[in-house]
A and B are shown apart, each in its own frame.
Chain A
Amino acid sequence: MNVKKDQTKVAEQIEKNEKDQAGQAQFLSFTLGDESYAVDILSVQEIRGWEPVSRVPNVPVYEKGVINLRGAIVPIIDLREKFGMQHQGYSALTVVIILQTDHRRTGVVVDAVSDVLDVDERTIQQTPNFGSAISTEYITGLISVHDKMVMLLDVKRLLHLESLEQTNKKLLMDYMSR
């Protein structure tokens, strides 16, 4: 029995290696309204249900607040609101994806998680340019899954918050120039 398991493991390993060589990548896809988005699966730490957050004063409306994630204070961002879409109420079915980049963790609120996609990197298409009318700064590319378009998100850029230094500088400037 064990031997058989090991064999399957080895087979999987080989398969995986082959995939890697072929420029394969995996993405976690989720939906916001009718639209499908996906993030690099390596940046996903966990998927949680919605739970009430502690609000933080004087921040943009899409920064919903902070939660206690096993002792760490993690901010929660509503992607709908960040992308300027209609806000929907939260329920127990609302999903929070905890993303991690550069040792910073952030939770993003999405409507639902759909699938894990195996994507051949060669099939990723460039984001069309809409000029300044539609901001595509967070989108790195497009793929099509079952004839449906999925937008790949740049997690790093998405989670980039104003750095501490800048905030401090701004604070000081405000204070001085009042």
Chain B
Amino acid sequence: MPIDMAQFHQLFFEESQEGLDIMEFGLLNLDKGNMDAETINTIFRAAHSIKGGSATFGFSTLSHFTHLMETLLDEMRDGRRQASHNTVNVLLGAVDCLREMLDAIQQDRVIDEQAVAEHKQQLQLELNSLNVAETSEPTPAVNPILAPQTQVKSSSAQGWKIDFTPHSGMFRTGNDPVRILRELQELGELSIVLNSEKLPDVYTLDPENCYLSWQLELKGAIDKALIEDIFDWVEDECDLSISALNPASVSEELDPPRLDTNKTSSPLYSQKDANTTKVSSEPLLQVLDKTVGVRTKKSSSIRVETGKIDALLNMVGELVITQSMLSLIGENFDLSKIDQLKNGLEQLEGHTRILQENVMNIRMMPISFVFSRFPRLVHDLSTKIGKKIQLVIKGEQTEVDKTVIELLSDPLVHLVRNSLDHGIEMPDQRIAAGKPAMGTVILEAYHRGGNIVVEVKDDGKGLDKDILRANAIEKGLIDESTMLTEKQIFELIFMPGFSTVEALSDVSGRGVGMDVVYRNIQSLGGNIDIHSERGKGSTISIYLPLTLAILDGQSVAIGDECFIIPLSSIFESISIPGEQVNRIVEKGETFRLRDEYIPIVRMYEVFNISSAKARRISDGIVVVVEGQGVKCGLLVDNLLDQQQVVIKSLEKNYRKIEGVSGATILGDGSVALILDIPELIRLAQKQNV
């Protein structure tokens, strides 16, 4: 009964991805010139696990490819090879190729054979550069013991006879003989003779033991090393002998048929093979194909620290206790128990809140998941465009919701590429401008209020207002006469159809436009802010909500309607006497809060609410909020309640509403809209014009 391997595929993919990340990280470190043994070992181990895993799961293309990398790394590990820039680049390329292959397998696509072949060739070239004298062998075995054998031996054999007798404990080490047979099958025409002689009767049979052995004949001009490779993983757990089918073509002396570590020349297959059954390998393979054929759909999963789960379990335990306490009170309730009931309910509330926090916590991941890919990107791109750039990463331990992480990655790549491409100048220009030749790009994440802020900062040339403006007019996006503030001009780059390529630099090859970045961030409920100073550099800040699912809100009443204002954006709520309101050109109302003049937005005007009661500012309450650095006071009828609300999407069934980030369901079952403060401020400004 074959185990359904497909169930482990997802795990393998995830582990491999992690392995690839480790390799990439290690290689980039090597590139900086510190060739320390531990780094190389780490890379080697990662490669080795991927190879092992892929072989076990039958992804032979993967395992063969990784094998080449491993060989190269092995030479580095032994100190036979120095980590030259070229070697590292070839290996990095191979890592990319491997990642492609993994993705292809995972998504059920066809592997790009040509790309694979190219990378293989590169690896091979790199290998040969050292091994010219040593070997002409395409795939030298990892095992150093085997190396001398494989060098001398030529691939002239017409075929191989393999006696393969697994030890009875082979299954326990997680190896599957069938996997090996399948791999052999890929090398050439394979005929399999099964020896089930040792198989006990069904009553005494221990299903965890392997009783079977095989006699195999592999036809074709195949390298012995390839065959040995396949048995590489099990050589300690079986008796194995490989001999040439046609002894005349291969010298027995050069190639003794004893790769086996136990040197047992399989006496099992003597003439008494009475119950040897000859089976074609085809049906077997079909079964295997079926198990492999169950494709794992790309499902999203998350790795959680055990600590977090323990906390969760603890809380559930507490909750159960509270629940049983409450039901005890409820069983024969009278008014004397009202205090107990209150206590119980308070406990319940506390537990529920902690439970909720813990569950949310599970979704939080450090932003280093996104940041970790940037050293590589900067390394590659700066080499390509001939600029000297160092990347500084700060605050990579900042935790963000998993969804945010996933959706943040593409926009960030785009922004960083823009900084490299258009922001940072060529070294000579930088020196001429009195700056160090090495440009700096800073990638930083931190918490502020209820937001996560991610910043991409460079010390390049900054945005040029005049060029941006001229370009927008040329594209017909704005009129010659349109007056724009500095900030608005910068934000032009987020408009669809506004390409900055000609305007800012002549480096081409930009993918999606900045409007896509803008849209992605917006769909996350976030916002983008640009600061730029000509000649000094620009900073692009992305503001994102801490979590996408729940927020602390203040509900306010305007007429018959109820809205939620995120608590994180509220400064204070005050009631203002009429005489403290100042007017600017009879329209804009402001009031003085300590040292600042703050504009007042009449919410019922912005949202056209006819039932609003507070028509005079002194009748209502002004909620002072801040969005993207702009403060303003929202006039509402009344403050209602502070509560945690679960954010529901309006767009799922409906569409985006200006000034509203989502909706929630209140305790009474009715729907309340959640205000999007930055957008609301913009909306109000627009209506004031």
Contacts and interface: CB of A to CB of B under 8 A. Distances in A.
Interface stretch (A4-12, A68-76, A123-131): A68-76
Given A175-B682, A176-B478, A73 B608 contact: no
Interface residues of A, number: 36
A72 B652 contact: yes
Interface stretch (A15-23, A31-39, A138-146, A163-171): A163-171
B652 A177 contact: no
A54 B523 CA distance: 23
Interface string B678-689: 000010001001
A170 to B, nearest CB: 10
Interface in A132-178: 161-165, 167-169, 171-178
Contacts, number: 99
A162 B655 contact: yes
A177 B472 CA distance: 11
A54 to B, nearest CB: 4
A55 interface: yes
Interface string B580-607: 0000000000000000000000000011
Interface in A75-130: 75, 104-106
A56 interface: yes
Contact of A75 (B561, B654, B659): B654
Given A168-B519, A174-B686, A176-B491, A54 B652 contact: no
A165 B520 CA distance: 11
A41 B562 CA distance: 36
A57 B606 contact: yes
B519 A165 contact: yes
B496 to A, nearest CB: 6
Main secondary structure of the interface of A (DSSP, over half): mixed
Contacts of B397: none
B658 A73 contact: no
B648 interface: yes
Interface in B630-684: 648-660, 663, 665, 669-673, 682
The bracket for how many chain B residues form the interface is: 35 or more
A73 B653 contact: yes
A134 B478 CA distance: 37
Contacts of A72: 648, 652-653
A104 to B, nearest CB: 5
Given A169-B496, A171-B658, A176-B488, A54 B649 contact: no
A158 to B, nearest CB: 14
Contact of B655 (A74, A167, A169, A174): A167
A67 interface: yes
A54 B607 contact: no
Nearest to A53: B671
A168 B522 CA distance: 9
Given A54-B673, A104-B652, A163-B655, 12 more contacts: A54-B663, A56-B657, A57-B608, A67-B671, A68-B665, A74-B653, A105-B653, A164-B655, A168-B656, A172-B496, A176-B478, A177-B478
14 contacts: A54-B561, A54-B672, A57-B609, A58-B657, A66-B654, A68-B671, A74-B653, A75-B654, A164-B523, A175-B682, A176-B492, A177-B478, A177-B482, A178-B689
Interface of A: 52-59, 65-68, 71-75, 104-106, 161-165, 167-169, 171-178
Nearest 6 pairs of A and B residues by beta carbon:
A57-B607, A54-B671, A75-B654, A73-B663, A68-B665, A105-B653
